[in-house]
Amino acid sequence: MSDAVLIDTTDGVLSITWNQPDRLNALTAEMLNAAAEAIEDASGDTRLVVVTGTGRAFSSGAALGADFDGAATLDGANRLVRAMTRSPLPVISAVNGIAAGVGCSIALAADITLAKSSGYFLLAFVNIGLMPDGGATELVAASIGRARANRLAMLGERLPADVAAEIGLIHKSLGDEEYDAELALLIDKLGHGPTKALSAMKKVITANTLPRLDATLDAELEGQLALFSTSDAVEGGKAFVEKRPAAFTGA
């Protein structure tokens, strides 16, 4: 797992990079816990956290397959989202491509989310008979409202990065060259900003906009664990692995 997530602290910036490009940075419990631990244990000299991915995806979501441990993956995702939102440090998600499933949740848990215009956001859970998790049911609604949250969750539509920026779900969507420049600007501004003031404002903004995030994570965990054993979720998982449309029966 040592290379699956790259963790580095340089000049006060803690960088967490999903590094499974051949799997579109699909996330395991081990990867999620490693990232959470890095944020939780950040040294006193750390002033900023940046989460990103290698290749053409930020993350395609949980690493589904024969060895998928749903409960452990959910616990790891919830731990990471809590670490990102509770950290006194500003957190940037640098979305370099696809952000799907719990990868979408994690991307949106940051204080500032920047994306390449070639990327998109997708709450893909409904396509495999599951519900959004990783705090998505609150994170999305808090930014763009109940109607759009239902649209993304229930219809499983791709949301292009440009549209995500236009409707206020993320900070900005930019072409590759502009994206790199904007990310460097954000890292410089936040990494050399008034750290204590940034921490104080983050704490209050998070409390006012995500007041039930802990309860939401717990409720999503309970709901998702119940859904894992349904016939539709079993069919959805098989269809995903076999790369075919799922045939849901409502059971």
Residue 241's pLDDT is what?
84
Question: What distance in Å separates the CA atoms of residue 12 and residue 112, rounded to the nearest whole number?
Answer: 18
> Residue 173 is inside which H or E element, if any?
strand 172-174
CB 113 within 8 A of CB 170: yes
- Domain residue ranges in the chain: 1-176+195-251
> Residue 88 is inside which H or E element, if any?
none
Residue 94's pLDDT is what?
98
Residue 67's pLDDT is what?
82
Place of tokens 């952000």: 99
CB 63 within 8 A of CB 24: no
What does DSSP assign to residue 26? Answer: P
Torsion angle, alpha carbons of 240, 245, 249, 251, to 10: 10
Residue 176's pLDDT is what?
87
Residue 68's pLDDT is what?
86
Residue 147's pLDDT is what?
96
CA geometry: angle at 165 spanning 164 and 170, to 5°? 85
CB 9 within 8 A of CB 48: no
DSSP character string of 110-128: SSEEEEETT-EEE-GGGGG
Grouping H, G, I as helix, E, B as strand and the rest as coil, residue 97 is coil
Residue 83's pLDDT is what?
98
Could you tell me the mean pLDDT of each successive run of 10 residues in the chain, 251 residues long?
89 98 97 98 96 97 87 97 98 98 98 98 96 98 96 96 98 95 98 97 98 98 96 92 92 92
pTM: 0.96
| Phi then psi dihedrals of residue 104, to 5 deg | -65, -45
* The 112-116 sheet, strands edge to edge: 5-10, 13-18, 48-53, 91-95, 112-116, 172-174
CATH class of 1-176+195-251: alpha beta
Residue 33's pLDDT is what?
98
DSSP-assigned beta bridge partners for residue 13: 10, 48
**Tokens at residue 53, please?**
């991915």
First to last CA, the chain: 36
Residue 34's pLDDT is what?
98
Question: Where are the alpha helices (H) located in the chain, listed in sequence order?
Answer: 29-40, 70-86, 102-109, 136-144, 146-155, 161-166, 176-191, 195-209, 213-228, 231-242
**Tokens at residue 161, please?**
């990065």
